[in-house]
A and B are shown apart, each in its own frame.
Chain A
């Protein structure tokens, strides 16, 4: 629909100019363009001509900013006057793994101040890897009377007090989604801060919190919010409490349970089972902390229409998983822990023919003494049973080139292939060869590949393959790989759609860094840590490319000439002024 309207609109551009705009009023163009949702489409549209640029900017209501430092809030506000929803991403992704200093930046407050002035009717704010304080949350809560949806993913700097402020002041809140954050959970009664009259909540996700919550307040809240469709509890909520909540909320589409382990009487068990099965709309299930074989059967009836099952906090064994999956024929997305082992993954292949996404997380990532987990066999088994698989995140301790070749032969439609062989630089364990051919097979076969994470022992050949074949690749993550600058040069020279490149602990130096001079302006960002890049190389890059911000994070005690961690990103806002002392802007 949108593209055909676009076509019609594009056709009329010529007539537009020749008829001096009289046949195609701005208002109509705006109306048409307002139907465009994708921000990439909108960016393309805005480049057509000046009229289109203006029409687009007036009709845009949601702005997506992939790197908060690529632009300033003032510039955003100047260009887009009618924004009601903002998505902002801050820190580099490796901050999730503690590679970025704590006070690095990405603070939301400056943005909020501008938004309060320019977008008083702001409704939605979705943040990822931003720093947000309780004061900012309170400021947010009182500054925007229409505020509806707050989503915080991998953010830090706030506590439950900030949540209390949101609950207290946001009268129209429909969504409160707190995921995987570095939250200072001091407990408290933030849930009780929702007024008695408050009934609009549709999404409530506090699974991230560890402290006990006021269950009474929660029960009442769920009871009166009849439109609630997403409820994700934290670990402190018991099975019995879950049952009481579900009885009042059978309309839930997404449920995250609390602790799935408690001594229940037969009657209580049956009540739980009944409450779960009454959720006819349930398509997403998560939580399930400490779930064991004993109570999993209570879920069976509720799983009939399940499309997304997140078991990544439940250390299930293979048999338990197999039994559960037998009841999940519609499953499209599955997240598990590697406690299910290869046998569990075989069950996935057997029971889930519609599977599109699989993520296998390690239960004990740092413990080499555990001799199990999953191997290449499990992955291969899934690939035979699930031809529609296109997204995989797989943590394992051994892999072979042959297995990966088989996997992509069975599943050629991969868009996201993230393989993590947990021992850095580990070769094919059967042949002792590098894993080059594995990733060569991936990029050759999976022409739609957008995201790739490589691991294992890799030479420059892997990167030659990537540069030569991965024509749709947008995000590449590399660790402990490569032999020389040539590897990185291949990627920079070869992947036309590359947007994000993150590299750690690889022997790529200045020559490699500087080979991508022009490329970086078409990318969102580059991260290089523990490589061979020097300060001089970074200075040269900064000098040659004024539209790039080149930031170096130094570690104490390291050589002055070494650039320990380099973060390069394009920006129209110029170098940032809020960098901490450990971050040098060149």
Chain B
């Protein structure tokens, strides 16, 4: 399946059609019980109003990894040790004036990480070294991903975000008191450091190379729900690429099945292979890297999460160490 970077004409419009379809989710009539359920299969929140369409359009462009070029973001990610409430700032745009909301959304998203971010920049999601902050970066990505959906979790970071909290989970959700949050994370990290005599049995296995499996999250532009892949199941970039491809084709198909209109075709073509999407990853330093730049074993030991970005978005990214636009066989072509 050696295709060049040219897009598969057949799949292109269908993929792009995801956007209007999502818009339609928002138009769903209220109080219309069961018939909506199918449409809402993959949604993680209740439908909102029309103005979400604008939100989701904007947010489509923002699903990406961090921009190293803009410098480290330090101030947006307070660690739980601050004993400050970890919260985001995200609230629902329901009922808000769509026009106003849109402009505010724009500026807020841009301002979010850094006020010096250039107009085309994407919200930064720096991955700091300390674990708790990592979680928050991850969660920002979650919530931005959820920006496709109307509600609650995502919207615009309003003043509270600028004031104190980092991009992260929804404010006040899950409903856990701050005192529990701090203690929970403290205990697992303290076990490693403060009790040298006692074996810490409860360390997070999250991305350990040894042991059971190495699950990393993977998100694809246009798919609200991310998945996890077990890197231990693969030993090369080709295999990973194929697996990711199949994974998301299945998801995209399911998404579209639920909204299938007459005459539309299911996605049959390859996503990554066609160059439509490009695989990038975040390493343990928070940098965005093109998949395939480094030897496989090095990749496996430093990767924290994966993304499949629309290739058309790539030029705007300032990726980690590799220069922009350099497509390697690994990240665009499965064997």
Residues of A within 8 A of B (CB): 94, 96-99, 154, 180, 182, 208, 261-263, 289-290, 292-294, 312-315, 317, 337, 339, 361-371, 395, 420, 422-427, 432-434, 457-461, 477, 479-486, 504-507, 509, 529-534, 555-559, 561-562, 564
Contact A558 B158 (CB under 8 A): yes
Say yes or no: B96 contacts A208, CB within 8 Å: no
A461 contact set on B, CB distance < 8 A: 33
With A97-B173, A98-B178, A432-B41 already in contact, 6 other A-B pairs whose C-beta atoms are closer than 8 Å = A370-B206, A504-B152, A505-B151, A505-B153, A531-B92, A556-B160
Interface of A is mostly: loop
Residues of B within 8 A of A337 (CB): 184
Contact B91 A98 (CB under 8 A): no
- Interface contact A480-B46, CB-CB below 8 Å: yes
CB <8 Å contact, A555 and B187:
no
- Give Cα A420 to B197, complex, Å: 36
How many residue pairs bridge A and B at CB < 8 Å? 218
Q: Complex formed: what's the CA distance from A261 to B176 in Å?
A: 25
In the complex formed, the residue of A with least CB distance to B94 is: A532
In the bound complex, do residue A361 and residue B171 qualify as a contact, i.e. CB atoms below 8 Å apart?
no
Q: Which residues of B contact A367 (CB under 8 A)?
A: 135, 138, 204, 206
If A361-B180, A369-B206, A480-B46 touch, whether A261 touches B198 (CB-CB below 8 Å) is: yes
List chain A residues, Cβ under 8 A from B36: 459, 483
B72 on the A face (CB < 8 A): no
What's the Cα separation between A424 and B47 when bound, in Å? 12
Q: Which residues of B sit under 8 angstroms from A292, Cβ to Cβ? A: 191, 198-202
Supposing A461-B33, A483-B36 touch, asked if A289 and B187 sit within 8 A by C-beta, the answer is yes
Q: How close is A91's CB to chain B, nearest CB, in angstroms?
A: 13
* Residues in A whose Cβ lies below 8 Å from that of B94: 507, 530-532
A534 / chain B contacts, CB cutoff of 8 Å: 95
Q: Are A261 and B195 in contact, CB atoms less than 8 angstroms apart?
A: yes
**In the complex, A219 Cα to B168 Cα: how many Å?**
43
B32 & A483 in contact (Cβ 8 Å cutoff): yes
- What are 29 pairs between A and B in contact, CB < 8 Å? A97-B173, A261-B191, A292-B200, A294-B198, A364-B204, A365-B181, A365-B184, A366-B86, A366-B169, A369-B207, A395-B174, A420-B175, A422-B174, A424-B45, A424-B151, A424-B153, A425-B44, A425-B46, A458-B46, A481-B46, A483-B33, A505-B152, A505-B170, A507-B46, A531-B94, A557-B108, A559-B100, A559-B101, A564-B91
B188 an interface residue at 8 Å Cβ cutoff?
Answer: yes
Q: What residues on B are CB-neighbors of A363 within 8 Å?
A: 184, 188
Determine if A339 and B202 form an interchain contact, defined as CB atoms under 8 angstroms apart.
yes
Determine if B142 is an interface residue (Cβ-Cβ < 8 Å).
yes
Closest chain B CB from A266 CB (angstroms): 14
Counting chain B CB atoms within 10 Å of each CB, the highest count among A363, A369, A426, A481 belongs to A369
* Bound CA–CA A317/B200 (angstroms): 11
| Chain B 85-107 interface mask (CB, 8 Å, partner A; 1/0) | 11100011011110011001000
**Alpha-carbon gap, A47 to B82, bound state (A):** 51
Closest partner residue, chain B, to A289 (CB atom): B187
Contact (Cβ within 8 A) A366 B139: yes
Chain B residues in 8 Å Cβ range of A482? 46
Which chain A residues lie closer than 8 Å to B201 at the CB level? Answer: 292-293, 317
- Given A289-B187, A481-B46: A371 and B228 within 8 A (CB)? yes
A507 in contact with B30 given A97-B175, A99-B171 (CB within 8 Å): yes
| Nearest residue, chain A, Cβ from B142 | A368
A96–B153 CA distance with the chains assembled, in angstroms: 19
A507 and B174 form a contact (CB under 8 A): no
A380→B241 CA distance, assembly (Å): 39
Asked if A96 meets B183 with Cβ closer than 8 Å, knowing A263-B197, A370-B206, A509-B95, the reply is no
**A159: min CB distance to chain B, Å:** 14
Known interface pairs A180-B179, A424-B153. Does A559 touch B97 (Cβ–Cβ under 8 Å)?
A: yes
